[in-house]
């Protein structure tokens, strides 16, 4: 709401700027020193209108107002007639030149707005908005891009409900902005297909690796024969280069694959990506707290080396009802302020959990993004993606045993 008001007042000021300029020149001329003639400055009014609002009506109106102010107001007016005539001619020339320029400018602005709408629609299809709830979990996501006007950069994320559990992908393509979008599309498209058809996380990751190599036109010799494309497809470039002429190994993607099972157990495969944070905020907990979830060193990012024969799928944590998992890209922890201090993500997550009881994923995203922009002064050096998943599933009840009922008179829970 505050931002909208600021934009509204800014537009109003731009429209009123030519009139304020004319008023200032007139006041200076009639009440200032008589030894200085500033009436020639009225010729700048149409140019200001052209550069400001870009409306032809505003240019014509400012030209008319400037001409009217040149009319003599009594014998006290001491401006030379030649100066008046020269100023009038200058105003007319500026207005005549600015009138067609404003038409072209407004047409270019309209084309730019349409291009932005098309780009925004395409980017929303690529990195589509997540549903607020999926399979008993509440979701929220946020993204800050370095490229102005870009909704998608080098970061990618997706959450899917499958027959194997809720599967989550968080990744970061080398580089940022528009050049990385093609790689993002290749990895996301492969995940959305593989997550539903592959029974194990390891198989999903191998599908992502093959999709990345197909996109880059790079097929390492170490890959098994069944993973290589048929001969004559033209997908293999020269030795040591991708199909697009880039050096092999220049492109890579960090990937974090998670599988949240119905009982809250979280399985993970990590290829060079930051480990997530777990926020304990369920019922009965006096104070919510954020702690990093780590299970050893991650594997190298996809694209640098072939995946090993055995992939270390690990159980990293278990989400109880009310607990949340926070996934992020390295841009969040690597963000620095003017003094070079890193962004304290763990502390900010703890503050967000403490200030928003019960834990609301959308509020956590907003709190972290606000703190990030405040910490960096709005000058980001890398794309930043955030994803929060809160477990809203009810705790499963264990069938009561006859011995416990006879001993306590209460069923197990």
For the chain, which domains are there?
2-119 (no CATH), 132-391 (3.60.40.10)
Tokens (6 digits) for 317: 């944590």
225: pLDDT strictly greater than 50 = no
Rounded mean pLDDT, 79-84: 66
Instruction: Reply yes or no on whether the pLDDT at 96 is more than 70.
Output: yes
pLDDT at 260: 95
Q: What is the pLDDT of residue 70?
A: 64
Confidence category of residue 291, pLDDT binned at 50, 70, 90:
confident
Q: What are phi and psi of 324, to 5 degrees?
A: -135, 155
pLDDT value at residue 138: 94
Q: State yes or no: pLDDT of 274 exceeds 90.
A: yes
Exposed/middle/buried for 196, CB within 10 Å: 0-12, 13-18, 19+? middle
Q: How far is CA 143 from the centre of its chain?
A: 3
Answer whether residue 59 shows pLDDT above 70. no
pLDDT at 278 over 90: yes
Dihedral over Cα of 181, 194, 209, 134: its sign: positive
Residue 42 phi, psi dihedral angles, 5° rounding: -60, -25
The per-residue pLDDT for range 324-365, each reduced to its tens digit, is 999 999 989 899 988 989 999 989 998 888 876 778 899 999
Q: What is the pLDDT of residue 344?
A: 92
- Among 43-47, 246-250, 292-296, 373-377, which is the least confidently predicted range? 246-250
Cα three-residue angle 117-119-124, rounded to 5 degrees = 95
Predicted confidence band of residue 236 (pLDDT cuts 50, 70, 90): very low
pLDDT at residue 356 in the model = 67
Return the ∠ at Cα 33 (arms to 30 and 34), rounded to 5°.
75
- For tokens 């996934």, what's the residue? 327
Q: Who has greater pLDDT, 174 or 347?
A: 347
Q: Per-residue pLDDT for 188 more than 80?
A: yes
Cβ burial of 129 (10 Å; 0-12, 13-18, 19+) is exposed
User: Is there a contact between 37 and 25 (Cβ–Cβ < 8 Å)?
Assistant: no
d(CA 400, CA 406): 10
Q: Which residue in 396, 395, 265 sits closest to 321, CA to CA? A: 395
pLDDT at 137: 94
The residue-averaged pLDDT of 153-165 equals 89
Q: Which percentage of the chain shows pLDDT scores above 90?
A: 32
User: Looking at residue 301, what is its pLDDT?
Assistant: 93
Q: pLDDT at residue 269 above 70? A: yes
What is the model's pLDDT at position 108? Answer: 84
- Does residue 183 or residue 29 have the better pLDDT? 183
pLDDT greater than 50 at residue 158? yes
Q: Residue 79: what pLDDT? A: 57
User: Highest-confidence range of 75-79, 90-94, 279-283, 360-364, by mean pLDDT?
Assistant: 360-364
**Structural element, H or E, at residue 122:** helix 81-126
The interaxial angle of helices 44-51 and 56-68, nearest 10 deg, is 160
Residue 404 has pLDDT above 70, yes or no: no
CA 263 to CA 37: how far, in whole Å? 83
84 or 335: which leads in pLDDT: 335
Average pLDDT value for the chain: 76
Q: Above 50 in pLDDT, residue 169?
A: yes
Condensed to tens digits (0 to 9), the pLDDT of residues 359-400 reads 889 999 999 999 999 999 888 888 889 999 999 987 544 444
Ramachandran assignment for 120, one of left (phi > 0), alpha (psi -120 to 50 degrees), beta (any other): alpha
| Residue 54 reports pLDDT greater than 90 | no
Among residues 136, 139, 128, 165, which one has the least CA distance to residue 326?
A: 139
Q: Which residue has the higher pLDDT, 16 or 406?
A: 16
């Amino acid at each position: 709401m505050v931002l909208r008001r600021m934009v509204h007042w800014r537009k109003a000021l731009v429209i009123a700027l030519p009139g304020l300029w004319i008023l200032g020149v007139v006041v200076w001329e009639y009440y200032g020193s008589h030894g200085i003639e500033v009436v020639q400055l009225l010729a700048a009014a149409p140019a200001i209108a052209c550069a400001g609002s870009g409306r032809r009506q505003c240019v014509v109106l400012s030209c008319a107002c400037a001409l009217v102010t040149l009319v003599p107001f009594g014998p006290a007016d001491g401006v030379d007639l030649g100066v008046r005539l020269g100023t009038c001619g200058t105003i007319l020339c500026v207005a005549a030149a600015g009138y067609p320029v404003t038409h072209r400018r407004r047409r270019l602005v309209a084309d730019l707005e349409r291009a932005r709408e098309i780009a925004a629609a395409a980017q929303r299809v690529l990195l589509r908005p997540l549903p607020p709830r999926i399979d008993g979990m509440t979701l929220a996501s946020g993204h800050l891009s370095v490229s102005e006007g870009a909704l998608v950069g080098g970061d990618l994320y997706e959450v899917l409900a499958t027959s194997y559990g809720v599967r989550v992908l968080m990744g970061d393509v080398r580089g940022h902005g528009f050049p990385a979008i093609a790689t993002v599309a290749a990895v996301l498209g492969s995940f959305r297909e593989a997550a539903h058809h592959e029974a194990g996380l390891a198989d999903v990751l191998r599908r992502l690796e093959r999709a990345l190599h197909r996109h880059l036109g790079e097929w390492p010799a170490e890959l098994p024969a069944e993973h290589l494309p048929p001969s004559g497809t033209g997908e293999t470039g020269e030795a040591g280069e991708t199909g697009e002429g880039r050096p092999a190994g220049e492109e890579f993607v960090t990937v974090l694959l998670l599988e949240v099972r119905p009982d809250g157990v979280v399985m993970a495969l990590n290829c060079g990506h930051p480990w997530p944070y777990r926020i304990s905020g369920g019922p009965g907990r006096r104070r919510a707290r954020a702690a990093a979830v780590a299970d050893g060193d991650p594997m190298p990012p996809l694209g640098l080396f072939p995946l090993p024969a055995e992939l270390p799928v690990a159980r990293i944590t278990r989400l109880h009802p009310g607990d949340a998992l926070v996934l992020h890209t390295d841009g969040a922890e690597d963000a620095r302020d003017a003094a070079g201090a890193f962004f304290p993500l763990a502390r900010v997550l703890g503050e967000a959990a403490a200030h928003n009881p019960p834990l609301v994923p959308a509020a956590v995203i907003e709190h972290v993004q606000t703190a990030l922009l405040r910490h960096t002064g709005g000058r980001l050096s890398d794309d930043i993606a955030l994803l929060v998943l809160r477990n809203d599933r009810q705790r499963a009840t264990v069938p009561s045993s006859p011995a416990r009922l006879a001993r306590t008179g209460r069923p197990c829970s």
